[in-house]
Amino acid sequence: MDEPTAALNATEVARLFEIIERLKQRGIAVLYVSHRLREIFQIADRVTVLRDGKKVDTRRLAEVSEDDVVTMMLGHALNKEETSYEAIQASEKAALSVRNISVPGVLSDISFNLYAGEVMGCAGLIGSGRYELARALFGLERISEGKIEINGQPALLSSPNDALRHSLYMLPEERKVEGIFPDLTVRENLLISAKRLFQRLSELSIDADQEEKEYDKMRELLRIRASSSAQGITKLSGGNQQKVMLGRALMSNSRILLLNEPTRGVDVAARVEIHAAIRKLAQTGYAILVSSSDIPELVTVSDRCLVLNAGRTKGLLNRVQINEDNVTALAIGQEITGDRQMSNAVASHNVRSSLSLSNATRLVQVAESFGVFVLLVIVVTTASIVAPGFFTYTNLTNTLIAASITAVTGLGMTFAIAMGGFDLSVGSVQVLTAIVVASLLSVVGPPLAILGAVLTGLAIGLWNGVLISKLRLPAFVVTFGMMSVIRGVALLVTQGQSVMITKHAEFGLLNNGKILWLPVPFFIMAIVLVILSILLKNTAFGRHACAIGGNRAAAIVSGVNIDRVTIAVFGVVGVTAAISGIMLASQLMIVDATLGTGFELQAITISVLGGTSLSGGHGNLIGTVFAAILLATIASALNILKVISFYQYLAMGALLIFALAIDTARQAFIAKSLLSRS
Amino acid sequence: MESAETANHSTHRSRGMYLLGFLTKYYIQSLLLISVVILAAVNPYFRSIGNLQNILLQASFAGIGAAGMTMLIVSGAFDLSVAGLLGLCGVLISMLLPLLGAFLTFFAAVLLGVVLGSLNGVVVTKLRIPAFIATLGLMNIYLALAFIWTGGSRVVPISDPIFNSLGTGALFGLPIPFLAMIAAYLGCYGILNRSVYGRCLRAVGSSEVAARTAGLPVDFIRILAFAIVGGCTALAGVFLGAELSSASAIMATGYELTVIAVVVIGGTSLKGGEGTLFGSFTGALFFAVISSALNILNVAAYWQYVATGAFLISALGVQALRSYIVVE
């Protein structure tokens, strides 16, 4: 177990420990990795200490004390004096004054004053809104009510840029994700917030000498250990990276600092240095809010401590009241001085807001499933009114054939998108396989020719998959390159000439044959739809593909064979493109290498329009078919109306952008309602 | 004795590592040098002044676009619409030239490029659509507009002696487009490595979340990068139109692939955050040399499609290998 308690509250930790105890009695070995020493002493029998990637020692816990373990971690004994607290004379005037602010679904009615020269702690469990409070003050969350004053002046903070202008800066919680720029040097990381873009023309170019001086100043102040200012930030230890981050906050010319988890993932020695630096900064007049899940840290650095519970202020402790027991009690919702009504009010408020939002989410889901269908009905109705002759048997059949050919490729593409991939080479594959089947028909019978084309598509698809998975290359660039390669091969095979199908006229039945008045291509498409639906919904393969698209990292951890699934999915895409190519050959009976430009765009458009999200994780195959019919209807109506074909390009591009914008809005909406519900 | 031997061995090894490191770092430059030397040795036509000038000229069309594209890729985005954008600029030049004259037309074309580039940026950042797919859609729109404007794939003339000299003229034996390419690269180099904006660009490409958290105006930075690509592409369109003395919607089909291949083969990572303009510059020359060689050897033009795609994919493979060597 790796840091299993990171996201748990005290009761949950107790239950986890019970479970571990039970597992132990059943003879199961548990490796428990944690930076919380107290937990180690509570649960473990033996402890192994690692330092700088090397094993220091393994000892029985009965034989060692907490101080011994710390000494092993540091390599030397911790100097206790460094952590001692020293009171600071805080200023009388509030640097930051927060009045009754709320963030929908996360925080309600928070008020406090932060004075220059003071360190205020902020405690709270996961879900208490602790990090959201800092983010809201820095303009990263939308504040619905309340107001903020900075140095007595009302301030509207709706973006980090605004906050910076008001001399307020926030250090993010997850240094690796939100903090460092891995490709930039130490100096660049340090100074990224120091100059505001295009504020002063004189600051457009970089003055290397001056920056070096600024770096030196910070290095001394914060004791940053780096070989040079031009060293890559990722080469530094976690503690030194964190010092650079702290330096960035100082270099932002801000006097109000919101520090989140200032010592997360930092070794014990650096932790002491960072705490000392925070105290020193407060002495020089900074107003500092330290938000942390590490309660001993809050006890060490804060003058006062704000405790949040379920989005509300649970208490504001002064220096005398701050100790681990009081902070913990308030954080888990117990009272020091009783007031139960307030937390009840919070609970009912939260339930109400989540109810109304979940209704809206359901509405979105309904729209997602039937949106294209509604659009289709509208377009077909319009087409039959404005385009006379649309509702003839011949035209409807032709429209359905065109839709079926597009849909087959689109279905494969939907599969790829569900897995979080793309294939831009499908248009070229369609053309190449159409040429292969047409050329083979002059030598062999239709069954062998079709087999040859399908195998060609399969081979290309598998090759794409191998490149993407084995070389770890982004799917769209690989398939973009392959698009060009395959088109080149198609041109080479035909030498730029057309290939006409003269033998085996029965091959044309694939296009103009009818079963129960419906054209054969429709049935081919239906069969592909059924097979892919079964593959996607009812097999482990389909579920694994969706798992990769939904959360790649989680899929890897749960043992999904990413490479194999990726290769197989691209194989499927290749086969569908080949089937569609064969249908195309049978429709045209004369093919050349310049066909099919823009087919890949059509395939992506109908997938997204049909309700398959680009973010991956699920595929709406039926939606893809409806969207294909929609597209074919529009094309047919425009043809009847004699609109020149270039407008169809225009319509296609616009439709794609439109579908994608809708998709983005939908994703944002779902994410928001999920957030509010939790 | 023994220690001397190990020392000797280790210098051998470190020299080998140094060579490997050098070749890894300057692989595209080495590749260009080797191919030029070999081609010049075996083929007298290749080493003729006329052919070398032509190579520089051909390199500058993709090269100028690749300068802007390098900046955009560093910021972690792409623009696949450049072929459509270039076609539209070409058609605009043809329409405006008789009315405005060479000078104003030049600026109008570059302005159109910047405006359309910014539009790409706005669509990508404000509608939050993945860049490659949004710009693919926008390419269709630009192509369609150019088609509609010219009433089909009809070729429209660009004939103005001053304007045409932009494409055909030379200064000190160097084609004017090539000089413009050098200027474009110098300008982009200054922006990327010596300005606050360039640092922000690399920061956004390195980690978008961290950039937002550090208070950088991420959307604005990206839109500006798209605008730079638009401007560079339009500039390439000016020289291409001037050289061909004609324009059409499809005058630059496949341009996006060539430009991205040039950037990638030059060693810029598609992940964003870092990029080498020197690499892109060399990459453009390398592509022109290969293309000239294929022409001289009378290889069918269709092979160019295969070669460009294959180069892109193998350059990605080489990048994976290089980062592996660097880690080792």
Average pLDDT of A425-450? 88
Class of domain A94-338: alpha beta
Query: A359-368, A401-410, A614-623, B251-260: which range is least confident on average?
Result: A359-368
Angstroms from A175 CA to nearest CA on chain B: 8
Indicate the residue type of A298: L
DSSP single-letter state for residue A236: S
Angstroms from B75 CA to nearest CA on chain A: 11
What's the pLDDT at B321?
74
Question: Rounded distance, CA A491 to CA B300, Å?
Answer: 10
Residue B136 contacts A, CB cutoff 8 Å: yes
Domain with CATH 1.10.3470 in chain A: 356-677
Question: Rounded distance, CA A648 to CA A654, Å?
Answer: 10
CA A434, A437, A442, A446 torsion: positive or negative? negative
What's the pLDDT at B5?
44
Domain with CATH 3.40.50.300 in chain A: 94-338
A485 to B310: CB separation less than 8 angstroms, yes or no: yes
Give the strand pairing for A119-123 and A107-115.
Answer: unpaired
Which residues in chain A are contacts of B205 at CB distance < 8 A? 183
Q: At what angle do helices A562-588 and A393-418 cross, to 10 degrees?
A: 160
A649 to B144: CB separation less than 8 angstroms, yes or no: yes
CATH number for the domain spanning B78: value is 1.10.3470
Residue B206 contacts A, CB cutoff 8 Å: yes
SS3 of A35-57: CCHHHHHHHCCEEEEEECCEEEE
Domain ranges, residue B210:
38-327
Mutate to test the interface with A, among B126, B299, B306, B322 (most CBs of A within 10 A): B306
Q: Is the pLDDT of residue A81 over 80?
A: no
Indicate the residue type of B18: Y
Mutate to test the interface with B, among A485, A647, A663, A664 (most CBs of B within 10 A): A485
* Confidence band, pLDDT 50/70/90 cuts, at residue A230: confident
Q: Is there a domain that residue B8 lies in?
A: no
Q: Is the pLDDT of residue B25 over 50?
A: yes
Q: Is there a domain that residue B22 lies in?
A: no
Angstroms from B93 CA to nearest CA on chain A: 21
Question: Rounded distance, CA A589 to CA A46, Å?
Answer: 76
pLDDT above 90 covers a percentage of chain A that reads 10
Q: At what angle do helices A520-538 and A540-550 cross, to 10 degrees?
A: 70
What three-state secondary structure class fits A443? Answer: coil
- Which pair of structure tokens corresponds to residue A62? 């009965």
Q: Is the pLDDT of residue A67 over 80?
A: no
Rounded alpha-carbon distances, angstroms, from residue A210 to A96, A214, A677: 31, 6, 49
- Which pair of structure tokens corresponds to residue A254? 């801000």
What's the pLDDT at A623?
86
* Confidence band, pLDDT 50/70/90 cuts, at residue B85: very high
Which residues in chain B are contacts of A177 at CB distance < 8 A? 207, 209-210
pLDDT above 70 covers a percentage of chain A that reads 88
Which residues in chain B are contacts of A549 at CB distance < 8 A? none
Q: Is there a domain that residue B62 lies in?
A: yes
Q: How many CB pairs under 8 A join A and B?
A: 208
Nearest CB among A170, A177, A192 relative to B203 is that of: A192
Query: A142-146, A564-568, A578-582, B37-41: which range is least confident on average?
Result: A142-146
Query: Is the CB of residue B109 less than 8 Å from the CB of residue B91?
Result: no
Nearest to A497 by CA among A455, A554, A410, A435: A435
Q: Which string of DSSP letters, residue by residue, matches B180-235?
A: HHHHHHHHHHHHHHHBHHHHHHHHHHH-HHHHHHTT--HHHHHHHHHHHHHHHHHH
Average pLDDT of A428-452? 88
In terms of average pLDDT, the best of A370-379, A411-420, A540-549 is A411-420
Give the strand pairing for A518-519 and A119-123.
Answer: unpaired
A656 to B203: CB separation less than 8 angstroms, yes or no: no
Bridge partner residues of A2 (DSSP): A33
Question: Rounded distance, CA A139 to CA A169, Å?
Answer: 10
Instruction: Count the Cβ atoms, other than its own, within 10 Å of residue A91.
Output: 13
- Which pair of structure tokens corresponds to residue A329? 């009690």
Task: List, for residues B120-176, the tens digit of each pLDDT value.
Answer: 999 999 888 888 888 888 888 898 888 888 877 678 888 888 888 888 888 888 899
Residues 2-21 of B with CB under 8 A from A: none
Q: Does domain A356-677 have CATH number 1.10.3470?
A: yes
Query: A348-357, A536-545, A575-584: which range is least confident on average?
Result: A348-357
B215 versus B225: the higher-pLDDT residue is B225
A181 to B133: CB separation less than 8 angstroms, yes or no: no
Q: Note the ipTM here.
A: 0.79
pTM metric for this prediction: 0.81
What's the pLDDT at A344?
39
What's the pLDDT at B100?
86
Residues with Cβ within 8 Å of B285's Cβ and at least 6 positions away in sequence, in order, are B32, B55, B56, B59, B63
Task: List, for residues A621-665, the tens digit of each pLDDT value.
Answer: 888 888 888 888 888 888 887 777 777 777 777 877 887 787 777
| Nearest-Cα residue of chain B relative to residue A653 | B137
Nearest CB among B140, B196, B309 relative to A653 is that of: B140
Instruction: Count the Cβ atoms, other than its own, within 10 Å of residue A463.
Output: 18
In chain B, count H helices and then E strands: 13, 4
Sheet arrangement for strand A94-103: A107-115, A94-103, A145-150, A153-155
Tally of domains in chain B: 1
Within 13 A of A676's CA, how many CA atoms are on the CB side?
Answer: 24
Question: Rounded distance, CA A108 to CA A143, Å?
Answer: 10
Query: A82-91, A391-400, A550-559: which range is least confident on average?
Result: A82-91
Average pLDDT of A10-19? 82
What three-state secondary structure class fits A210? Answer: helix
Average pLDDT of A60-80? 74
Q: Is the pLDDT of residue B3 over 50?
A: no
Bridge partner residues of A110 (DSSP): A101
Angstroms from A98 CA to nearest CA on chain B: 21
Which residues in chain A are contacts of B137 at CB distance < 8 A? 601, 605, 652-654, 656-657, 660
Task: List, for residues A185-205, the tens digit of each pLDDT value.
Answer: 888 888 888 776 666 666 677
Average pLDDT of A84-106? 75
Name the average pLDDT for chain A.
Answer: 81
Average pLDDT of A218-240? 84
A248 to B214: CB separation less than 8 angstroms, yes or no: yes
What's the pLDDT at B1?
38
What is the separation of C-alpha B130 from the centre of its chain, rounded to a whole number of angstroms?
21
What's the pLDDT at A614?
79
Backbone φ and ψ of A258, nearest 5° = -105, 105
Backbone Cα Rg of chain B:
21
Residues with Cβ within 8 Å of B118's Cβ and at least 6 positions away in sequence, in order, are B223, B224, B226, B227, B230
Residues with Cβ within 8 Å of B104's Cβ and at least 6 positions away in sequence, in order, are B96
Angstroms from A231 CA to nearest CA on chain B: 15
Residue B250 contacts A, CB cutoff 8 Å: no
What's the pLDDT at A365?
57
Residue B169 contacts A, CB cutoff 8 Å: no
What's the pLDDT at A203?
66
Task: List, for residues A525-543, the tens digit of each pLDDT value.
Answer: 999 999 998 988 888 888 8
SS3 of A304-330: EEEEEECCEEEEEECCCCCCHHHHHHH
Average pLDDT of B179-196? 92
Nearest CB among A483, A487, A650 relative to B144 is that of: A650
Q: Is the pLDDT of residue A351 over 50?
A: no
